[in-house]
Chain A
Amino acid sequence: MTERLSNREGIKGMANPTRYGIERVAYWLQRLTGLGLLAYLIGHIIETSTIVHGKIAWDKMLEFTQTIQGHLFLTLVIGMCVFHTANGIRVMLGHGGIGVGKPGQPEYPYKASSLNYKQRLCIWVSIGLAALAMMYGASVLFGV
């Protein structure tokens, strides 16, 4: 059977975080922030390399970071960085089988132990830390 007929959900389904609880939202955010950070890293290398075009080009680049859009952009980067790191640690421990619960007799209504409150709490803490860091970052950047 060709893949065209396979009824695979494809990227649209993979990137749809709405149906399978907070764990799937965390998966989606981890991807999004990972790609965002990668884009930032590439952008950052391009930005710092403007110095080879002389001081004027460099200063122009720096000017962007002083604008409101620049501040908002950096605030977003702070948030992505904090969420990705905190949730990344949860995911790495999980991948090692740590904090995913213990096998046992499943009881109706069969709540999965790997989707336990510790995992959910860690996801919310990651989101909360990202929000706090963004608020702090914004207050410094905007000089409140």
Chain B
Amino acid sequence: MAVVTAQKPSEELITIGKTSTQSDAITLRIARSNPAEGQETTYAEFKVPVKKWTTVLEAILYVKQNLDHAVAVRYSCRQASCGSCGMKINGKPALACYTKVSEIKSNVITVEPMNNFPIIRDLAVDFKQLTSNHKKIKPFIINEESEVTPESKEFIQTPKDLEKFLQFSYCIKCGLCNSACPTMATDTSFIGPQGLAQAYRYVADNRDKGKEERLKIVDNSHGIWRCHFAGSCSHVCPKGVDPAMAIQLLRGYMLGFQK
């Protein structure tokens, strides 16, 4: 186990906000592994100076910049928009850029790769299954008139029509829901809450004419019927998509209880 102690806080951490100069330190434990090379998980510990507003991602990047460049982590937007930085933070899936160190009631923070996704290295996981399941449900509007021609007229949707699917369209494909889902934990072929919620996003859109096709895809033993409404997906979703609601509404629609 590598234990590295930081000598000085990074410039970024000193210069953000001049109001407070005192800087607490946390112990950041990073799970290191490289399964393809047969390297089992070990935990490397780092002392990282933090402020009230430091995010877990910033703490990891501090380690990368100052203590160990080799830590593998995926990120991009740093503002909960790109869906890249999902990981387990003290045992629960969350976005590292959207979780402040001060929110976690502990001086020791352990970051690990999300479950139910193959590990590439350290904190970076493979999204192939999520993207292929997302593609499978045809995440686009199926409507012959959707091609824009000079004669095209706008498709009028009322605010009520919009409200039926808008919330579900906020999905950033971060995969936190799939990583919290108990069915995903054991069923290797399950579409997962992300894909199922997106199926409903299009089914609920009155511009879409592809309901039949899409319902056929989710209507199988590794599809919609595998959801047990444990709600863990909605518990961790950082964008308020509420995949559990989308899935139950889709199932209700398929069973004829919902319009």
Contacts and interface: CB of A to CB of B under 8 A. Distances in A.
Contacts of B240: 106-108, 110-112
B185 A8 contact: yes
A14 B242 contact: no
Contacts, number: 156
B117 A24 contact: no
Interface centre among B113, B163, B165 (most CB of A within 10 A): B163
Contacts of B248: 94-97, 100, 114
Interface in B91-126: 91-92, 113-119, 125-126
Contacts of A107: 240
Given A97-B248, A103-B166, A7 B241 contact: no
A5 interface: yes
Interface residues of B, number: 56
B245 interface: yes
A15 B35 CA distance: 25
Contact of A23 (B116, B117, B183, B232): B232
A121 to B, nearest CB: 14
A115 interface: yes
Interface string A82-114: 000000000100111110110111111011111
B148 interface: no
Interface centre among B163, B246, B252 (most CB of A within 10 A): B252
- Please tell me the size bucket of the interface on A: 35 or more
A101 B92 contact: no
Interface string A102-133: 01111110111111000100000000000000
Interface string A67-94: 0000000000000000000000001001
Contacts of B167: 103-106
Interface centre among B166, B231, B238 (most CB of A within 10 A): B231
A96 B245 CA distance: 11
Contact of B234 (A95, A105, A112): A112
B36 interface: yes
Interface string A1-18: 101011111110111000
A94 B255 CA distance: 12
B186 A10 contact: yes
Contact of A106 (B35, B165, B170): B170
B182 interface: yes
Contacts of B185: 8-11, 13-14
B230 A7 contact: no
A11 to B, nearest CB: 6
Contacts of A53: none
Interface string B227-259: 111111011111111101110111111010110
Given A8-B186, A9-B115, A21 B231 contact: yes
A101 B188 CA distance: 29
B143 to A, nearest CB: 21
A60 interface: no
Nearest to B128: A1
A55 interface: no
